[in-house]
């Protein structure tokens, strides 16, 4: 089968933290000679600009505004399953009719029904995990019955193969508070239940990053590491490589940020961002604000609706030292030489971006996989410091300031910087020609080019 006849649809869940790695994967496949089409919902396609891949809409049943229009996550996921299965099938038929048949669907693990679509059409199916392999291994162990939920009240630490001992507060939130996140947990578990039915199981991570787990699980599960999915100009240093994911659900204020960053000394600025779904309480915003100010360093902070959330008089009090924007091109900012530290919620993409660009991190986590990612940042990769919450669940200004100093100053800051450089190099080698992730992608491409399905 020649490359133009090997056509992959890459299906992304319509959220920034999912579209970014899946679009990047589609671009990698296209760069290796496959035809790749990104499919996502009607209300997100217009935000995508990636010339080397096709972009096509499918329906989740809420074409005007998606998830926000649904009464609950259960309702949304159920609708997406029904309407999405039909419209994805129609898309595959449309391509067949136009002489560009699809022979594989790579789908986001949040959309597990795509496996049945591929099976019914008789084409290859590959699931793409947007979290770390360590997170995947926890859900895998639950599915195998080796870890049962809810955890017993007396369980203080969970020990699993290839993972450091995990305290309750390190666990992904559907496990530490299972009753409040039933729909989310069920959606995840549905995928883990059918993991052996996929032709490939890809994970946005790289072998060196989770090497103990890779060793412990070798031959026991089907996970294949293909990450980090960060645009090539930042990682494998292709001068003419990609400088952006090519998808932005909000309008970035990048030129303003870069002009401001250019006025700051190297490695002096704190960049603060809490991902695309942040919903930080007013109390927490206030503590972060005064903690950033107290650190006595310039800071650039991404905060939506800052006019409603920031303490009165805060911006005036910081003047030119601080900049608050509603959205930026995070990669451009993290790659800027003025950035010295990343205050992050530790979403998996942000964590990989911090690692891949060698930026020391301070972790202020909220939920889902973030606490466990932060545990690895501090204890395994040693590239950052985790903040602790007080008795009412807030990271105080004093705590934030202390952790920023720990990540940037003195001996601890030096050690973190050294480790950050080491992980940056390892991330680069994984995706460079001949690296572990690159070779894993090549094997997939070769198989698809052989044809058959
Ligand atoms: C969520 C989960 O937190 C994450 O762990 C999961 O794997 C995917 O869904 P999110 O909370 O949005 O994602 O965080 P993150 O994974 O860090 O993704 C956010 C993305 O938005 C990053 O790629 C980041 O570069 C981008 N971003 C963020 C911007 O481009 N500009 C911004 O101003 C802020």
Q: What is the pLDDT of residues 405-433, one digit of tens each?
A: 999 999 999 999 999 999 999 999 999 99
Q: Which of 144, 147, 94 is nearest to 121 (CA)?
A: 94
Q: Which atom of ligand 1 is nearest to the CA of 349?
A: 16
Query: What's the Cα-to-Cα distance from 214 to each of 132, 199, 226, rounded to whole Å?
Result: 12, 19, 13
Question: What pLDDT, on a 0 to 100 scale, did the predictor assign at position 87?
Answer: 98
- Reported ipTM: 0.97
Indicate if ligand 1 lies below 6 Å from the C-beta of 227. Answer: no
- Taking residues 43-71, what's their average pLDDT? 92
pLDDT digit string, tens, across residues 259-302: 999 999 999 999 999 998 878 999 999 999 999 999 999 999 99
User: Are 342 and 354 contacting, i.e. CB atoms less than 8 angstroms apart?
Assistant: yes
CATH of the domain spanning 7-245+431-450, picked from 3.30.360.10, 3.40.50.2000, 3.40.50.360, 3.40.50.300: 3.40.50.2000
Catalytic residue among 7, 60, 108, 242: 108
- Taking residues 9-19, what's their average pLDDT? 97
- Taking residues 83-95, what's their average pLDDT? 98
Dihedral angle of Cα 368, 371, 376, 378, to the nearest 10 degrees: 150
User: Are 4 and 15 contacting, i.e. CB atoms less than 8 angstroms apart?
Assistant: no
For residue 92, what are its two tokens?
A: 């595959």
Question: What pLDDT, on a 0 to 100 scale, did the predictor assign at position 3?
Answer: 47
Indicate if ligand 1 lies below 6 Å from the C-beta of 344. Answer: no
Q: At what angle do helices 73-97 and 182-193 cross, to 10 degrees?
A: 40
Question: What pLDDT, on a 0 to 100 scale, did the predictor assign at position 22?
Answer: 98
Lowest pLDDT segment from 129-143, 224-238, 258-272: 224-238
Indicate if ligand 1 lies below 6 Å from the C-beta of 429. Answer: no
User: Are 322 and 293 contacting, i.e. CB atoms less than 8 angstroms apart?
Assistant: yes
Local structure of 200: helix, strand or coil: strand
pTM summary value: 0.96
Read off the pLDDT band of 232 (50, 70, 90). Answer: confident
Whether the pLDDT of residue 43 is over 60: the answer is yes
Read off the pLDDT band of 177 (50, 70, 90). Answer: low
Q: Which atom of ligand 1 is nearest to the CA of 276?
A: 12
Higher local confidence (pLDDT), 65 or 24: 24
CA 431 to centroid of ligand 1, rounded, Å: 20
Question: What pLDDT, on a 0 to 100 scale, did the predictor assign at position 208?
Answer: 98
Whether the pLDDT of residue 333 is over 50: the answer is yes
Query: What's the Cα-to-Cα distance from 4 to each of 9, 30, 43, 100, 451, rounded to whole Å?
Result: 13, 10, 28, 8, 11
Question: What pLDDT, on a 0 to 100 scale, did the predictor assign at position 234?
Answer: 82
Indicate if ligand 1 lies below 6 Å from the C-beta of 446. Answer: no
pLDDT digit string, tens, across residues 192-210: 888 889 999 999 999 999 9
Going across the sheet that includes 339-344, the strands are: 322-325, 299-302, 269-273, 339-344, 361-363, 384-386
CA 68 to centroid of ligand 1, rounded, Å: 18
User: What span, in angstroms and rounded, lies between the C-alpha atoms of 189 and 186?
Assistant: 5
For residue 273, what are its two tokens?
A: 């961002």
User: What span, in angstroms and rounded, lies between the C-alpha atoms of 232 and 252?
Assistant: 20
- Taking residues 221-225, what's their average pLDDT? 95
User: What span, in angstroms and rounded, lies between the C-alpha atoms of 273 and 350?
Assistant: 9
Q: Which atom of ligand 1 is nearest to the CA of 373?
A: 5
Residue ranges, CATH 3.40.50.2000, the chain: 7-245+431-450, 254-427
Out of 15, 16, 23, 373, mutate this one to test ligand 1's pocket (max ligand atoms within 8 Å of CB): namely 16
Read off the pLDDT band of 180 (50, 70, 90). Answer: low
CA 279 to centroid of ligand 1, rounded, Å: 13
Q: What percent of the chain has pLDDT over 70?
A: 96
CA 17 to centroid of ligand 1, rounded, Å: 4
CA 185 to centroid of ligand 1, rounded, Å: 20
Helices (H), 250-343: 254-261, 282-294, 306-309, 314-318, 330-334
193 is catalytic: no
Read off the pLDDT band of 237 (50, 70, 90). Answer: low
- Taking residues 314-326, what's their average pLDDT? 95
Indicate if ligand 1 lies below 6 Å from the C-beta of 132. Answer: no
Q: Please state whether beta strands 339-344 and 361-363 pair in parallel, antiparallel, or not at all (unpaired).
A: parallel
Indicate if ligand 1 lies below 6 Å from the C-beta of 6. Answer: no
CA 350 to centroid of ligand 1, rounded, Å: 6
Question: What pLDDT, on a 0 to 100 scale, did the predictor assign at position 240?
Answer: 63
Q: Which atom of ligand 1 is nearest to the CA of 248?
A: 30
108 is catalytic: yes
Question: What pLDDT, on a 0 to 100 scale, did the predictor assign at position 277?
Answer: 86
Question: What pLDDT, on a 0 to 100 scale, did the predictor assign at position 243?
Answer: 77
Phi-psi region of 435 (alpha: psi -120 to 50; beta: other; left: phi over 0): beta
- Taking residues 351-359, what's their average pLDDT? 97
Indicate if ligand 1 lies below 6 Å from the C-beta of 246. Answer: no
Distance from chain centroid for Cα 173: 16
Question: What pLDDT, on a 0 to 100 scale, did the predictor assign at position 207?
Answer: 98
The yes/no answer on whether domain 254-427 falls in CATH 3.40.50.410 is: no
- Taking residues 432-436, what's their average pLDDT? 94
Read off the pLDDT band of 383 (50, 70, 90). Answer: very high
Q: Which atom of ligand 1 is nearest to the CA of 204?
A: 7
Indicate if ligand 1 lies below 6 Å from the C-beta of 131. Answer: yes
Indicate if ligand 1 lies below 6 Å from the C-beta of 290. Answer: no
Question: What pLDDT, on a 0 to 100 scale, did the predictor assign at position 112?
Answer: 94
Q: Which of 324, 251, 249, 257 is nearest to 292 (CA)?
A: 324
Q: Which atom of ligand 1 is nearest to the CA of 346?
A: 17
Query: What spatial distance separates the first Cα and last Cα of the chain, rounded to whole Å?
Result: 10
CA 353 to centroid of ligand 1, rounded, Å: 10
Indicate if ligand 1 lies below 6 Å from the C-beta of 254. Answer: no
- Taking residues 35-41, what's their average pLDDT? 97
């Amino acid at each position: 089968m020649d490359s133009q006849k090997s056509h992959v649809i890459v299906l992304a869940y319509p959220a920034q933290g999912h579209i970014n790695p899946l679009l990047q994967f589609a671009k990698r496949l296209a760069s290796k000679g496959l035809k790749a089409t990104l499919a996502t919902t009607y209300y997100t396609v217009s935000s995508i600009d990636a010339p080397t891949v096709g972009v096509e809409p499918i329906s989740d049943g809420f074409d005007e505004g998606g998830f926000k229009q649904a009464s609950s996550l259960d309702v949304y996921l159920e609708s997406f399953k029904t309407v999405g299965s039909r419209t994805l099938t129609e898309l595959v038929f449309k391509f067949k009719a136009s002489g560009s048949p699809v022979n594989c669907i790579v789908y986001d693990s949040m959309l597990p029904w795509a496996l049945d679509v591929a099976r019914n059409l008789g084409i290859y199916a590959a699931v793409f995990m947007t979290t770390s392999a360590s997170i995947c291994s926890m859900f895998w162990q639950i599915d195998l019955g080796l870890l049962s939920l809810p955890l017993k009240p007396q369980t203080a630490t969970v020990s699993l193969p290839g993972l450091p001992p995990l305290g309750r507060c390190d666990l992904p939130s559907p496990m530490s508070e299972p009753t409040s996140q039933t729909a989310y947990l069920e959606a995840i578990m549905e995928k883990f239940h059918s993991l052996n039915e996929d032709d490939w199981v890809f994970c946005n991570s790289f072998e060196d990053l989770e090497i103990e787990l890779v060793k412990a699980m070798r031959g026991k599960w089907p996970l294949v590491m293909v990450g980090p999915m960060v645009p090539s100009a930042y990682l494998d240093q292709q001068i003419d490589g990609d400088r952006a994911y090519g998808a932005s659900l909000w309008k970035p204020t990048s030129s303003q940020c870069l002009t401001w960053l250019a006025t700051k000394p190297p490695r002096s600025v704190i960049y603060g961002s809490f991902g695309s779904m942040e919903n930080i309480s007013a109390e927490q915003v206030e503590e972060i604000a005064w903690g950033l100010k107290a650190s006595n360093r310039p800071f650039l902070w991404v905060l939506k609706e800052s006019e409603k959330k920031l303490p009165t008089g805060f911006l005036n009090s910081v003047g030119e030292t601080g900049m608050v924007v509603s959205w930026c091109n995070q990669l451009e900012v993290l790659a800027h030489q003025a950035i010295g530290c990343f205050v992050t919620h530790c979403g998996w993409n942000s964590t990989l971006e911090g690692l891949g660009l060698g930026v020391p991190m301070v972790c202020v986590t909220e939920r889902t996989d973030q606490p466990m990612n932060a545990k690895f940042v501090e204890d395994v990769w040693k590239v950052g410091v985790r903040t602790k919450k007080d008795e009412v669940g807030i990271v105080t200004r004093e705590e934030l300031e202390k952790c920023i100093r720990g990540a940037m100053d003195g001996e601890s800051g030096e050690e973190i910087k050294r480790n950050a450089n080491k992980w940056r190099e390892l991330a680069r080698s994984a995706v460079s020609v001949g690296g572990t992730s690159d070779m894993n992608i090549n094997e997939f491409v070769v198989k698809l080019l052989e044809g058959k399905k």
